[in-house]
């Protein structure tokens, strides 16, 4: 499907567009492998009891942190997303705020974790702000879920939605999905990367629901055409037709660093 850059929504349109569809976001977006969270937390050179989940959205990572008994400061600029998060985690402390201006005290948390949100931040300003609120020896960890181009239908899907959020080759995790991380500034150790593979079981309708939550699809001028083509793929592609469910292959890439 040929499209021009003019069809694409602006960065600002996308960044704060999720609250209106927070229920679908919570329902269809995948979580993260438990081992990826444990690996991230192990970056700290201090006991980790109190952390901030920044750009938390509807709480996919927050729930995994809560399962580990951590005290969590949940931060997101969209109150609609936080309202959805509160449905499953009513006791957590939430803050409507930007990553670059956290409503937290100096050295007040043992770590900051960012899941699927780093690309919305001013990276230099956010790294410095995280360095302010994290105590020495604490951690910073950035997560990103990448769909893996394993099957013919995943290649066709990536082409259809003009998606860059895929991993096509094995190799240096620091370059996957456009994330060139590793240097968070003078307050942080050099970043260390790891990857964790997993599958999410999908149906045709959950695949359609997932793609409908992508701001770069939902806000495009030709979104109706894309979603119609997606429905055809989900129900008629030879790899998917007639199947009750099927795996969507993912890789979670994590970069972690320690507060110096």
The average pLDDT across 15-27 equals: 68
Each residue of 162-186: pLDDT tens digit? 765 555 444 444 454 445 567 899 9
Each residue of 25-70: pLDDT tens digit? 899 999 999 999 999 999 999 999 999 999 999 999 999 999 999 9
Range of the domain at 161: 5-258
Specify the CATH number for the domain of residue 37.
3.40.50.150
Count of domains in the chain?
1
Q: What is the pLDDT of residue 202?
A: 97
Nearest to 65 by CA among 41, 96, 97, 95: 41
100 versus 1: the higher-pLDDT residue is 100
Each residue of 67-114: pLDDT tens digit? 999 999 999 999 999 999 999 999 999 999 999 999 999 999 999 999
Per-residue pLDDT band for 120 (boundaries 50, 70, 90) equals confident
Residue 225 has pLDDT above 70, yes or no: yes
Percent residues over pLDDT 90 in the chain: 72
Nearest to 130 by CA among 58, 65, 76, 51: 51
| CA angle (152, 157, 161) in 5-degree steps | 155
Each residue of 185-197: pLDDT tens digit? 999 999 999 999 9
d(CA 65, CA 38): 9
Q: What is the pLDDT of residue 171?
A: 43
Q: What is the pLDDT of residue 20?
A: 52
The region of weakest confidence among 12-21, 110-119, 123-132, 204-213 is 12-21
Q: What is the pLDDT of residue 176?
A: 47
For residues 162 and 3, is the Cβ–Cβ distance under 8 A? yes
Report the chain's mean pLDDT, rounded to a whole number. 88
The average pLDDT across 126-136 equals: 98
Cβ–Cβ contacts within 10 Å for residue 72, how many?
24
129 versus 14: the higher-pLDDT residue is 129
C-alpha 158, offset from chain centre: 18
165 versus 24: the higher-pLDDT residue is 24
Residue 126 has pLDDT above 50, yes or no: yes
C-alpha distances in Å from residue 95, one per residue of 45, 79, 80, 141, 258: 27, 9, 12, 19, 24
């Amino acid at each position: 499907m040929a499209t021009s850059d003019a069809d694409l929504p602006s960065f600002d349109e996308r960044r704060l567009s999720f609250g209106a569809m927070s229920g679908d976001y919570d329902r269809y977006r995948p979580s993260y492998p438990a081992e990826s969270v444990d690996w991230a937390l192990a970056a700290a050179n201090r006991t980790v009891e109190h952390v901030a989940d920044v750009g938390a959205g509807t709480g996919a990572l927050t729930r995994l942190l809560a399962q580990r008994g951590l005290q969590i400061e949940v931060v997101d600029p969209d109150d609609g997303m936080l309202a959805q998060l509160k449905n499953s985690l009513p006791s957590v402390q939430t803050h409507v705020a930007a990553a670059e201006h956290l409503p937290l005290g100096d050295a007040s948390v043992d770590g900051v974790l960012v899941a699927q949100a780093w690309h919305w931040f001013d990276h230099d300003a956010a790294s410095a702000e995280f360095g302010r609120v994290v105590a020495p020896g604490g951690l910073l960890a950035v997560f990103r879920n990448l769909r893996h181009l394993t099957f013919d239908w995943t290649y066709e899907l990536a082409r259809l939605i003009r998606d860059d959020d895929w991993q096509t080759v094995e190799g240096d995790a620091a370059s996957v999905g456009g994330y060139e991380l590793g240097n968070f500034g003078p307050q942080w150790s050099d970043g260390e990367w790891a990857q964790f593979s997993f599958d999410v079981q999908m149906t045709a309708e959950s695949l359609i629901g997932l793609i409908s939550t992508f701001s770069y699809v939902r806000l495009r001028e030709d979104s109706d055409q894309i979603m119609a083509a997606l429905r055809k793929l989900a129900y008629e592609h030879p790899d998917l037709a007639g199947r009750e469910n099927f795996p969507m292959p993912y890789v979670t890439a994590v970069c972690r660093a320690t507060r110096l």
